[in-house]
Structures are given as structure tokens and as C-alpha cells.
Amino acid sequence: MKITCHHCKSENGIPVILDDEGSPMSYKNGLTATLKKLCWSRKDFASRLGYKSKRSVDKFWQEAIPPAHVLNVLSVELRKPPRIEQGNIDSIQLKAIADAHKQARGATHEARLKIKDAVDANRLCAELIGKVEEFHKGDLLGYLLPVLHGQEVKDYRSFLDANRKRDALQEKRQLHLMGVLDQRSNTEQRHDRQIRKPSTLSYLLKISRKLEKKIKARPVSEWTESEKDQIKSTLLPINEISKALD
């Protein structure tokens, strides 16, 4: 739809109103269609053109022909991009959110179903490994090596043990074991926690306890001369510490 002077029906510089197919319209019907397209009332129309009231423009729906400047203003307004009122913006935004929410819920439901399928498949594989283990207790990893590497077997067994106690969707560790969630790298895990270095005292206590166990299991009197010499040389730093403390 447009208002133009470039038409054979236009006379004396007065534009004509063309419908969407390019056919001329009567001014009465053309003005009605134009105001509808612009979302204007007759009061809006009068106000935009500087008339005091809508009564001043009612004559254009009767016998009076709209002057050229009135039709030119309407022509300019028709060429402008359509205005979106705030109410329409709210409606569009709410509909977009509602559609996105519906899509998100549907995708989440499908994802949960797929995770449950993955849980069932992993549990089946883990239980089959458990059955095989009854016949290959001493060489399970070697027997399964053509189809699974050792860490995969361990992960399946850990998963089955955990899954017997609680649902996989309630425990992140099971999702890690299945590969649904990515495992964090060792570097990331080290950064997440402070690694406490053992103190000198704790280190010496550990050595002392281990030495006591060894002596109880095999007294010094049973050591060979070679073993005694090796122990003496090993204890030299500790003896130096002991002397420094006196």
C-alpha cells in the first residue's frame, strides 16, 4: 500500500491511494485502510496534521478531497519502519521466553531419559564383568584386555558398587565414572586443595614406627654384618641431628 503522485489517476498534484495490489482506492476507503495500517485513530490523525479535533478531518470521509500536504504526510508515515508498541514488545518477549522454556524442559527431559539409558547400559556391562570375575579372579584384567583396558574395568566395578547404594542422578561421582561428566585434570585438582608438606618431625615419626615394626619382626641380633653396616650409614644423618640437639 502507498500514496503517490506517480500514477495516471493522480490529477493536479493530488496523490492517489493505492492498495497492496497497486489499484487506486477511494479516499474514504484509502484513508481508513491507511489509518489501520498506521494504528492511528482519527484523533491521532488530526493531531499529527495539526488539526484541533477529529471533527476537522471527518470531512475527508465525506465529499471533501484531502489536500496534497495531508496525503504527503501519510505517504511519509507509510514508508517508515513499523512501530512496535511497548505492549507488543512485552508480548513478543514473553512468548519468546515461554517458547525457550518449553524447549529447555523438553531437552532436559530427553537428556534425563538418555542418562537413564546410559546408567542401565553401564550397569549391565558392570554386572557382566562381575560374572566373568567369578571364573577369572586371578587374571580378570588380562582376560578382558582385548576389549577393555584396566582403568575401564576398575571404573565399571566402582560404578556398580556406588550404583547399588544410590541413584546415579543423585551422585556426581557415578556420572564421572560413566563419562557423562568430564573428569577434572590432576592439575586442576591440585590447585583446588592445598598440599601440606610433611614436617621433619612427622617424617621422622614415620621412619621410627616402620623401624620398630621391622625390629619386632626381626630383632637386631638376627641381622647380618652387612645389614648392620648399611643401617649405620643410613642412620648417620639422624645421629647428626641428635648431636646437634644436645
| Residue 213 to residue 208: CA distance in whole angstroms | 9
The SS3 assignment for 7 reads coil
CB 180 within 8 A of CB 114: no
Contacts of 116-123 with CB under 8 Å at 24 or more apart are: 116/169, 118/178, 118/180, 119/163, 119/168, 119/169, 119/174, 119/178, 122/156, 122/159, 122/163, 122/177, 122/178, 123/159, 123/160, 123/163
pLDDT, position 202: 78
pLDDT, position 244: 84
Beta-carbon count within 10 A of 124 CB: 11
The SS3 assignment for 122 reads helix
Cell of 164: 547399588
Q: Beta strand pairing status for 2-4 and 16-18?
A: antiparallel
pLDDT, position 7: 86
pLDDT, position 88: 63
Q: What share of the chain is helix, strand, coil (3-state, %, to 5)?
A: 65, 5, 30
pLDDT, position 89: 64
pLDDT, position 167: 86
- Consecutive H or E run containing 175: helix 172-178
pLDDT, position 196: 56
| Residue 40 to residue 48: CA distance in whole angstroms | 10
The SS3 assignment for 14 reads strand
DSSP assigned state of 243: H
Instruction: List the pLDDT tens digit at each of the 246 positions of the chain.
Output: 889 888 888 888 889 999 988 899 999 999 999 998 888 899 988 988 888 888 888 998 988 888 898 999 898 888 876 655 555 666 777 888 888 888 889 889 998 899 999 999 999 999 999 999 888 877 888 888 889 988 999 999 999 999 888 888 888 888 888 888 876 555 555 554 454 566 777 777 888 888 888 888 888 888 888 888 888 888 888 888 888 887
DSSP assigned state of 2: E
Cell of 70: 495531508
